[in-house]
Amino acid sequence: MLYYQWVMNMSIKGILFDMDGVLVDSENYSLQKFEEAARCVGKTFGTELFTMIMGRIAGTSMDVISERLGKENADKVYEIHNDLMIRGYENHEIPLRDGAYELITYINEHHIPCALATTNKPYRIQKSFEASPFGKVPFEHIINGTDNVRSKPHPDIFIKAAELLDLDVRDCLIVEDSINGILAAINSGGYALMIPDIAKPDEYILNNVYCIKKDLHEVLDLIKSLFEA
């Protein structure tokens, strides 16, 4: 009962979504391709390193990889990984996450303000959705990795996404999966919701996140409780 009253008193007016690992099941695929690319240069690329770069824009990701593998190896790994990912998108090997279609369809049908806030590039965004049941990108408002924003965990991308909706980010529910992404959501002052994928929440996140959901079906249930009340 107390939880219900708390939900009713919240001022959530819009929803901001990360893409990779949240709406698109791309994180495990990307990790596999980084490991494959690293083997080509005689290196290893594990979950720990991948977690460090998840949610970051390309430039800062490269800096992190370079520190671990060396600049020359990092350049080659990044190039191979990019080629493998493009092939994956073009061959439709990267599906939506379970519940994504139902969730975004519900939001659009009920005219709930929403935006996509992803560090991925426009080409990959387009390819991620056009091979899905949507057939096209289902978002009118998008901030992507080519926009002039600092990399997560800085909150810039969510602040700008909220501005596209003419909302204060503090009135937005922000759905994320990565450590860098959920830290950016927390740092923005919005209602940070985490759906853990590869990365698991640490004590700081558990103490500062609005809530954790196991999948997008649970997120849909929450949104219905917020906007149908």
Six token digits for residue 51: 């977690």
55/103 same-domain check: no
Kindly state whether residues 115 and 158 are assigned to the same domain. yes
Same domain, 18 and 33: no
Q: Which pair of tokens denotes residue 112?
A: 């709930």
**Beta partners for 117?**
143
Domain boundary pick from 39, 60, 90: 90
What pLDDT does residue 75 have? Answer: 93
Instruction: Report how far Cα 220 is from the mean position of its chain's Cα atoms.
Output: 17
- Is 110 in the same domain as 215? yes
pLDDT at 229: 61
Are 200 and 186 in contact by the 8 Å Cβ rule? The answer is no
For residue 104, what are its two tokens? 């975004």
pLDDT given at position 149: 86
Q: Are 28 and 198 in contact (CB under 8 A)?
A: yes
The C-alpha atoms of residue 44 and residue 27 are separated, in whole angstroms, by 17
As a whole number of angstroms, the distance between CA 177 and CA 180 comes to 9
Say if residue 83 is in the same domain as residue 100: no
CATH code, 188:
3.40.50.1000
Question: Do 111 and 163 fall within a single domain?
Answer: yes
DSSP SS3 for 92: coil
Instruction: Using DSSP bridges, classify how beta strands 191-194 and 172-176 pair: parallel, antiparallel or unpaired.
Output: parallel
Structural domain containing residue 211: 2-25+95-227
For the chain, the domain total comes to 2
Residues 40 and 153 in one domain: no
The confidence score (pLDDT) of residue 5 equals 35
Q: Residues 46, 126: one domain?
A: no
pLDDT of residue 61: 86
Residue 210 structure tokens: 């609005």
Q: Do 49 and 83 belong to one domain?
A: yes
Write down the pLDDT at residue 10.
63
Q: How far is CA 66 from CA 40, 62, 63, 163, in A?
A: 16, 6, 5, 34
Per-residue pLDDT of the chain (229 residues), as tens digits, is 333 333 444 689 999 999 999 999 998 999 999 999 999 999 999 999 999 888 887 778 888 899 999 999 999 998 999 999 989 988 889 999 999 999 999 999 999 999 999 999 898 899 999 989 999 999 999 999 888 888 899 999 999 999 999 999 999 999 999 999 999 999 999 999 999 988 889 999 999 999 999 999 999 999 999 988 6
Question: Of the residues 51, 74, 90, which one is the last residue of a structural domain?
Answer: 90
Asked if 108 and 187 sit in the same domain, the reply is yes
